[in-house]
Amino acid sequence: MNNELRPLFWSDNHLKCLDQRKLPNQEVYVNIYNILDGVKVIKDMVVRGAPLISFTALFSIAAEIKNNTKYNINDFYNDIILLKNSRPTAINLKYELEMLENNLKRNILDFSFEAILKYAYQQIEILNSSNLNMSKLFFNSICLNSKKQKFNILTICNTGRLACGCHGTALGVIDYLNEKKCLNHVFVLETRPFLQGSRLTAYELTHSNIDYSIITEGSLSYIFENNEIDFVIFGADRIALNGDTLNKIGSSTLSIIANYYKTDVHIIAPLSSFDLSLQKGEDVEIEIRSSDEITKFNNHWIAPKSARAINPSFDITHSSLIKSITNQNGIISPVNSKNLENVCKR
């Protein structure tokens, strides 16, 4: 990727967020001056990817404090609900905001622009270290124990720097394998409804000079039958105690088909993606987005104007379909509540 291109960064008195809806053809930044600006870019998917959403929220709080001299801690506690509800399915947003709340309540962190801005950057550095560690764990445990030297990988959605603001999760593993000269080819699902695979993952792979092919969601059986896929790898927006994994819509379908073809499915997700308070995936609210995202393209109708669409943003990949889940503490396999809890609480 272009070294000058960043998903978000602080400039003077505001946050600048790369508008990922316009990639790969335009590199345009949106300015964030307060919490309401932050809520809007999260809801409208200017930014996406569970970690990047949470970092956008943290920087939006810093922007509010910087630009609103009357803003105080009580206002913050009221506004935090807006941020938490801006995208309800992914757990990272809630996780990061509650960590910030706890640090403020315990006086570990000052309620000041400087302190929260520094804290936001620190959280990105922590995630970068965690994600890099996950890549190393996966490589050492899964790849080095394989008889193969180079791998064909299939992935869905975007889990790289554009989703994380730092070293990616599943795409981070792909980058790491490429660095180790262990990567042969990547099959990239287009990923509905916003085509994050076609637009964003392909964009990152192009800039990393990684060999890849975009495939349609409907071609999965053909791809598995006619290509040697070594494993499927993707990230997670939330993982329940039993290992059920919520991820971009289509992940469940992909996993069912992969299992039919006896291809292992691996999840790469930091601890912030785990929600041990949830017993199973069905306990999570699935975000239903506007039908316009399917019936229109660039605000032009591509379906009859009377058409309506069902547009869930996520689905549940049940734990029985998953070979392993890797976080920064270790690898969970087989995937069950006992193993998941043990690894997460190390």
Please pick, among 237, 244, 275, 315, the residue that the annotation labels catalytic: 237
Helices and strands of the chain, counted as H and E runs: 13, 15
Residue 45 to residues 25, 48, 155, 196, 249, Cα–Cα distance (Å): 17, 5, 21, 11, 15
- Please state the separation of Cα 288 from the chain's center in Å: 17
Distance CA 173, CA 52 (A): 18
Residues 239 and 283: beta-carbon distance below 8 Å = no
Angstrom distances, CA of residue 293 to CA of 19, 51, 139, 157, 212: 16, 23, 37, 16, 26
Amino acid at 235: G
CA–CA separation, 328 and 34 (whole Å):
32
Our answer to whether residue 292 is catalytic in this structure is no
Q: Which two tokens stand for residue 71?
A: 């803003």
Catalytic sites, residue numbers: 237
